[in-house]
Amino acid sequence: MKTKMLVVLLGGLVAGAGCVSTVNDQHAFALVPGKDKFESRYERTPDQVYAAALDVLKVNGVVSRESIINPGPNQSKTIEAKANGRSVWVRVQAVDQKVTSVTVQVRTSGGGTDLDLTQQLQTQIAVKLAAR
């Protein structure tokens, strides 16, 4: 009976696992799908916001990839990094001529969410922008 219950629980766990879309238009393992990203908007240029986000990620972890999505006037810049053993993705894109959006997404190695780290990184980016 215990073996059957264990098999049912593991089957449910595997059935619930899957992938989530990341802010850099890729996919990542997700054991627990759910809210894992926050967006903030700033009256700064995309280059200023991107530089602040890059500085924050370098201080908190290791940047593994920087990329540009949709090159041209509507481009989005993304950063992929590891911080505190978590996978972090940041997307910076212009909303209009004066406003820039930055979205931070964090996932644990086990596929869970880490909203505390997500909010901490968002706050650090805002502080970095205010100091400039």
Give tens-digit pLDDT for 51-87.
999 999 999 999 999 988 877 777 899 999 999 999 9
pLDDT at residue number 102:
96
Q: Of how many residues is the chain composed?
A: 132
pLDDT in tens, 3-19: 765 555 555 555 445 67
The pLDDT-based confidence of 132 (bands split at 50, 70, 90) is confident
- Which of 108, 120, 131, 107 minimizes the C-alpha distance to 48? 131
Sign of CA dihedral 111, 117, 119, 122: negative
pLDDT at residue number 34:
65
> Which structural domains are found in the chain, ordered by start?
18-131 (3.30.160.110)
Greater pLDDT, 87 or 29 = 87
